[in-house]
Amino acid sequence: MNKTNPQPQAFVIARNVSKRYGDVVAVDDVSFTVGEGHTLALLGPSGCGKTTVLRCLAGLETPERGHISIAGKVVFDSERGINLMPEQRELGIVFQSYAIWPHMTVAENVGFPLKVRKVPSAEQRDRVARVLDLVGMGAWIDKPATQLSGGQQQRVALARALVYEPRLMLFDEPMSNLDALLRDQVRIELQTLQDRLGFTAIYVTHDQAEAFALAETVAVMNRGRIETVGPPRDVSFRPRTAFVARFLGLNVREGRAIRTGDLQTGLCYAEVALSERLTLRGLIGDERPMPAGSPVLTCIRKEHVMIRKLPPGGLTTHGALIGEVRAASFLGMEEEYLLDVDGVELRAIQLPIGAQAGDLVSVSIRPEDCTVFLHTP
């Protein structure tokens, strides 16, 4: 990915794109830009509208309203009556199903976009061979498509999308059908290919690890709208809404604001009661006023709930809480713990400490690792 230009020229522009299916609003006034050579991931649960956005970009769906331009060319504009066909948008797309034709060879599958564009046969052969070598499938050029594994089908679909050298690549859940080990391998290969070829990419995925690993910008979608957009680390560690926090798997617990105030850092904190005995302090993530007594949601990453075995005598360090381990799951390099802290259920993930169900542990949560939002029940 091209990271040498800190302010890349906008290559993809989507403004106020809206799409309905009957009474259902699938995409609701979505806007974003993607710099040339850069990568955006549209992340969200099933039904949030991310695939519909991708299909609108590709010309496979027609929005009711909005503007879309690619590489400086307007491909859709509802007010001006512009709606270019998919083949006029000069982009490649890799679908979740791969859409490999079983009656064709690998070469015929990859060369099909060149054939419909009436590229001369000799040039077709050269370009197909070159792109198959690029994705590590050169030895399979004359093999029947029925002999391909899932990972090989994914590479053939990628080669078919790349064969006519589009400047924009769209990926719709491209790794959802691969096993975990192969997903990691393909993820690295895609990053390497983008660095080498310099194309702009937009990924659609429900997998946050995939989005954070592949994209320089992540947009989290909910009910047809973009909830938050930003660099992966910002989206992950500082969720802007309670929905984003829940989707990313954070601890999200209801409470009530006790008081708010500014510390010397200038950051605004809230003290929150999560139960009769448990109070925490956290950063206010809401722009709305949060007076004392307001119902709130406190969001904490599982990795930021730090636990330690209690020393002999059961004493904790200053400021730490005491929790009981309800369950422990070994995850390989880490362990996940289900904790009861003064009647509040929290989950923690950290390096194994060997705690088991029934053990009492010391629990520490830093205020800067909590985010507090107003809650409307």
- Torsions phi, psi for 297 (to 5 deg): -115, 130
Compute CA distances 41 → 171, 197, 309, 355, whole Å. 9, 19, 40, 37
* Stretch 284-291: mean pLDDT: 86
Give yes or no for a contact between 296 and 372, defined as CB atoms under 8 angstroms apart. Answer: yes
pLDDT at residue 306 is higher than 80: yes
- Predicted confidence at residue 2, as pLDDT, reads 46
* Stretch 110-126: mean pLDDT: 91
- Predicted confidence at residue 296, as pLDDT, reads 95
**Least confident window among 4-13, 42-51, 142-151:** 4-13
pLDDT tens-digit map of 203-260: 999 999 999 999 999 999 999 999 999 999 999 988 989 999 999 999 999 999 998 8
State the CATH architecture for 243-374.
Beta Barrel (2.40)
pLDDT at residue 373 is higher than 90: yes
pLDDT at residue 98 is higher than 70: yes
**Least confident window among 174-178, 214-218, 305-309:** 174-178
pTM for the whole structure:
0.85
Give yes or no for a contact between 14 and 66, defined as CB atoms under 8 angstroms apart. Answer: yes
pLDDT tens-digit map of 19-76: 999 999 999 999 999 999 999 999 999 999 999 999 999 999 999 999 999 999 999 9
Cα 139 to Cα 258: distance, rounded to the nearest angstrom = 67
- Predicted confidence at residue 1, as pLDDT, reads 47
Cα 41 to Cα 55: distance, rounded to the nearest angstrom = 14
* Stretch 103-117: mean pLDDT: 91
- Predicted confidence at residue 105, as pLDDT, reads 94
pLDDT at residue 261 is higher than 90: no
Report residue 316's pLDDT band, with 50, 70 and 90 as the boundaries. low
Amino acid at 173: E
pLDDT at residue 267 is higher than 80: no
State the CATH architecture for 10-241.
3-Layer(aba) Sandwich (3.40)
- Predicted confidence at residue 136, as pLDDT, reads 87
H-helix segments, 135-178:
150-162
* Stretch 138-165: mean pLDDT: 89
Mark 146-170 as b/e (b = at least 16 C-beta within 10 Å): eebeebbbbbbbbbbbbbbebbbbb
Q: Which helix (H) or strand (E) holds 348?
A: strand 344-350
Amino acid at 169: M
Return the percentage of the chain with pLDDT > 70, whole number. Answer: 94
- Torsions phi, psi for 226 (to 5 deg): -85, 115
Average pLDDT, the chain: 90
**Least confident window among 71-80, 172-181, 199-208, 287-296:** 172-181
Cα 54 to Cα 171: distance, rounded to the nearest angstrom = 8
Range list of β-strands (E), 183-320: 200-205, 217-222, 225-230, 251-262, 268-273, 279-284, 295-300, 306-309
Range list of β-strands (E), 39-165: 39-43, 65-70, 73-77, 82-83, 91-94
pLDDT at residue 263 is higher than 70: no
pLDDT at residue 328 is higher than 60: yes
Cα 375 to Cα 299: distance, rounded to the nearest angstrom = 12
Report residue 309's pLDDT band, with 50, 70 and 90 as the boundaries. confident
Amino acid at 245: A
Compute CA distances 373 → 12, 240, 241, 347, whole Å. 33, 9, 7, 19
Cα 312 to Cα 104: distance, rounded to the nearest angstrom = 70
* Stretch 183-191: mean pLDDT: 83
Q: Which helix (H) or strand (E) holds 28?
A: strand 24-35
Q: Which residues contact 192 (CB under 8 A, 6 or more apart)?
A: none
Q: Which sequence spans correspond to the domains of the chain? A: 10-241, 243-374
* Stretch 344-353: mean pLDDT: 94
Taking alpha carbons only, the member of 202, 207, 209, 288 closest to residue 242 is 288
pLDDT at residue 317 is higher than 70: no
pLDDT at residue 285 is higher than 50: yes
Do the bridges between strand 295-300 and strand 225-230 make them parallel or antiparallel, or are there none, so unpaired? Answer: unpaired
Q: How many CA atoms lie within 13 A of 350 on its CB side?
A: 18
pLDDT at residue 95 is higher than 70: yes
H-helix segments, 117-231:
121-134, 150-162, 180-197, 208-214
Residue 68 pairs with which residues in a beta bridge? 14, 76
How are strands ordered across the β-sheet holding 360-364? 306-309, 360-364, 321-330, 335-341, 344-350
| Ranges 170-174, 262-266, 346-350, most confident | 346-350
